[in-house]
Structures are given as C-alpha cells and as structure tokens.
Amino acid sequence: MFKFIIRLIYIPLFLIGGNGLAVYLVGAGYGKIWLFALVLGFITLAFALEFLVPYDDFNKSHGDRLRDFYHGIVNESANVAGLMMLPVIAGLMTMPSLWPTSLPLWTQLVLAIFIADIGITLVHFASHRIDTLWKLHAVHHSIKRMYGFNGLMKHPVHQFLETLGGAAPLILMGIPQDVMTLLIVAVVLQLLLQHSNVNYFVGPLRHFLAVNVLHRFHHLKTAEEGDVNFGLFTTFTDRLLGTAYYDKDRVISSDDIGIGAEPDYPVNYLAQLLKPFKS
C-alpha cells in the first residue's frame, strides 16, 4: 500500500508540492537559503524514493556517483551565479518591462516555465543536429542509467547555452529576480522528475508533461531511436516539431541507455569536460 501511494503522489509531490512550497517561501519573504534547503530536501527525497519504488536497476552505480555529484555542484553553482547577475543585466536594459508583474506569483511562474520550456527545448533539439553542440550535449547522453541526479549531469557550456535559450526571452521581457529564482527551482525539480528511476504513475499526463516514461526514449543508444522527446517541462514543442513519441510496451533497461557510437565515452568528470574539445 505504501509503494502504491508513493507511485500515485510522486508527480503532484514534486510539481505541485515542491513548486508550491517554493512560491510560498518567496511570497512570504523568506531568504534564498530556504529555497536551497528545499531543493536539497527534494534531491534527498528523490534518492530515497528511487530505492523504495524503483523502475529498473538504475540505482546500481556505474562508477558515476562522484562524477554526477561534481556535475551537480558545478552546474547549480553556475545557476546561482547567473541569478546574482540578473539585477546587473536588468540595470543595463533600456527597454520598458513587458513582464506582467500584477499577476499572482504562481501565475508568473507558470508563464515563465512555458516560455523557458520552448527556448530550452529548441536548443536541445538543435544540439542533436549541430555537431559542435552535440559534442557538448553528448556528456549528458553518456549516462549508463537513469536516476534523478542525472538531470543535473551536463557539460557546463551546454547548460549555459540551454539556459540562455530559455532565459533570454524572459530577461528581455523584464522578468523579476524572484520569478527567475522560482524558475531555477522548478527546473531542478523537473530534472529530478524527468530522469527519475521511480516507477510513478503517469497515466494521461504523459500527453502533456515531459515525464520519465517519455524521456527514457530520448536516452536510447541509437540516434534513430533517441531523436525524440526533447521537451524539459512539457510535450508542447515536441508536438510542434513532430518528435513526441511513446511506446507503452517498450521496457528500457541500462543496456539500452548511452551513446551507441561511443560506448567507451569517458566516465571521469574532468575527462568529460575536455572530451568535446578533443574531437
């Protein structure tokens, strides 16, 4: 019964519970340290629930735990640094703000998620078609299993490009720093959800949300099979691009994940940082 409840509430726990709590903390004027604690708490929760209700053997380490930790620390530190620069960037803007600040905070977050999702998805899509971008993005696709922390495992240069794709239109619109902060929290929660090894219930939500049962197809070894489901938050842009895909009968295991053309892709963190610039 406990496992059934976990499978049932996992999506609303992360999407509604996590983001709702973040909106409350920001709206009530709590410091950023509380948002950091929230994110850390949900990362810990994701790890725990993956062991309680696993989809497959993705919990088994491939000698990648420390490497993934390094990726997570570096990339999230970069997000924090970028957030600190937002007031400076906003100060250089001379055009009037178009952001609807009169809307409730949660509505502003939903709008930011929708706009950012389109930009991030398009950069992701391009990264599978432009060789220079693919070399950077391949770091993420080199994973041999899928669990929550994999979502934070990216080459920092590619993360910057994806972030730029999602954040640039928001910055041009004059998004407030508090809403951008909430968006970063939402991205982390979604990456945990999207790469999760928890066998949670999805149902008809898979038609709208970019959840793990869809994203596993994106991580299949071959370019032909993995050239689908690029969305971060939703399937909206994938449906426009014609890249949305799902096969309810397909079971994906560790043997199906990775880069088929490069089975010996480096596992070490520093080697992965240098790999895109060596070939």
For the chain, what is the HEC assignment? Answer: CHHHHHHHHHHHHHHHHHHHHHHHHHHCCCCHHHHHHHHHHHHHHHHHHHHHCECCHHHCCCCCHHHHHHHHHHHHHHHHHHHHHHHHHHHHCCCCCCCCCCCCHHHHHHHHHHHHHHHHHHHHHHHCCCHHHHHHHHHHHCCCCCCHHHHHCCCHHHHHHHHHHHHHHHHHHCCCHHHHHHHHHHHHHHHHHHCCCECCCCHHHHHCECCHHHHHHHCECCHHHHCCCCCCCECHHHHHHCCCCCCCCCCCCHHHECCCCCCCCCCCHHHHHHHHHCC
Q: How far is CA 196 from CA 112, 115, 149, 163, 229, in A?
A: 23, 24, 8, 21, 15
Tokens of 153: 């495992």
Residues, the chain: 279
Are the CB atoms for 255 and 262 separated by under 8 Å? no
> Which residue has 């950091």 as its token pair?
36
pLDDT at 278: 84
Residue 83 has which token pair?
């957030």
* Blockwise average pLDDT, block size 10, the chain, 279 residues: 88 96 96 92 92 81 82 80 62 74 96 97 96 95 87 90 92 91 94 92 92 94 88 97 92 86 90 88
Q: Provide the angle, in degrees to the nearest 10, between the axes of the packed helices 2-12 and 32-52.
A: 140
Q: Are 169 and 115 in contact (CB under 8 A)?
A: yes
pLDDT of the residue at 82: 67
Q: Give the amino acid at 155.
A: H
CA-CA distances (angstroms) from residue 32 to 85, 101, 163, 197? 15, 20, 20, 29
d(CA 161, CA 170): 15
For residue 70, the model assigns a pLDDT of 85
d(CA 117, CA 231): 7
Which residue range(s) make up the domain with 58? 2-277
- Contact between 175 and 112 under an 8 Å Cβ cutoff? The reply is yes
Q: Say what the pTM is.
A: 0.92
Q: How far is CA 114 from CA 1, 208, 231, 235, in A?
A: 35, 12, 11, 11
Q: At 41, which amino acid appears? A: G
As a whole number of Å, the end-to-end CA separation of the chain is 51
| Tokens linked to 6 | 């976990």
What is the domain count for the chain?
A: 1
